[in-house]
A and B are shown apart, each in its own frame.
Chain A
Amino acid sequence: EVQLQQSGAELGKPGTSVKLSCKVSGYNIRNTYMHWVNQRPGKGLEWIGRIDPANGNTIYAEKFKSKATLTADTSSNTAYMQLSQLKSDDTAIYFCAMRDWFAYWGQGTLVTVPS
């Protein structure tokens, strides 16, 4: 069974960074892209970017190019997203998703940045 286990909720200070994790079981992340998606409170879904864990290649949505950094550790089958220069507008749930058509999703990590 494929499972994506994301790290726990974060309370981030403005101007600092947080690093979220997404540990995959039941599937080798070398064989898939890992995507990250956010959802601001009461809002819809927004694609942040993806990483190919096999080679580290990344593609970001333009608005997240200086905000998010995607990495992956194939030895632990885990994907990571670092969010930098946190501000209140970054308050959201962040999901990881994988396989074709985003077939599998993590449970989400709530990041709260007070204003």
Chain B
Amino acid sequence: DVLMTQTPVSLPVSLGGQVSISCRSSQSLVHSDGNTYLHWYLQKPGQSPQLLIYRVSNRFSGVPDRFSGSGSGTDFTLKISRVEPEDLGVYYCLQSTHFPYTFGAGTKLELK
């Protein structure tokens, strides 16, 4: 199975600040069709995960441009600028290139 290593586990932030979350995969996430199926989600307490970024760098409908994704191959990053209170929660990456699909262990974004 593809191991998704997310860092850091916990990320203290000040409102208005900028943070980055890393997600590294144990093998390349480039699919045979040429696409890279790496996505980012935010799970707020007591809620279902919500899609933020799909296929590395595409913001899902309604996601503010404060969120951006980048990376290639095995190394990916989610950046959040001008952090707002509604951004707090646990962030997960997901690879859907290889079966079984696998999630990172999560990064908890919390206030300093």
Contact with B along A73-115 (1 / 0, CB 8 A): 0000000000000000000000101001111011110000000
Q: Which residues of A are found within 8 Å of B51, using beta-carbon distances?
A: 101-103
- Asked if residues A95 and B54 are in contact (CB atoms below 8 Å), the reply is no
B48 within 8 A of A: yes
Q: Does A47 contact B (CB under 8 A)?
A: yes
CA distance A35 to B39 in the complex (A): 15
Contact A44 B50 (CB under 8 A): no
Q: Assuming A102-B41, A103-B60, is B48 touching A46 (CB within 8 A)?
A: no
What is the count of residue pairs linking A and B with beta-carbon distances less than 8 angstroms? 53
Interface assignment of A45: CB less than 8 Å from any CB of chain B: yes
Chain A: minimal CB distance from B25 (Å): 14
Docked pose: A18 CA to B87 CA in angstroms: 35
- Chain A residues, CB < 8 A from B101: 35, 47, 61
Is B50 touching A105 in the complex (CB atoms < 8 A)?
yes
- CB of A100 within 8 A of CB of B54, answer yes
Q: Which residues of A contact B39 (CB under 8 A)?
A: 101-102
Of B48, B92, B102, which contacts A105 at CB under 8 A?
Answer: B48
Within 8 A of A (CB), among B6-59: 37, 39, 41, 43, 48-51, 54-55
Known: A46-B103, A62-B100. A105 touches B55 (CB 8 A): no
Q: Identify the B interface with A (CB < 8 A).
A: 1, 37, 39, 41, 43, 48-51, 54-55, 60, 92, 94, 96, 99-106
Known: A45-B94, A102-B49, A105-B49. 4 other contacts (CB 8 A): A35-B101, A44-B103, A101-B39, A105-B50
Point out residues on A near B: beta carbons under 8 Å. Answer: 35, 44-47, 49, 59-62, 95, 97, 100-103, 105-108
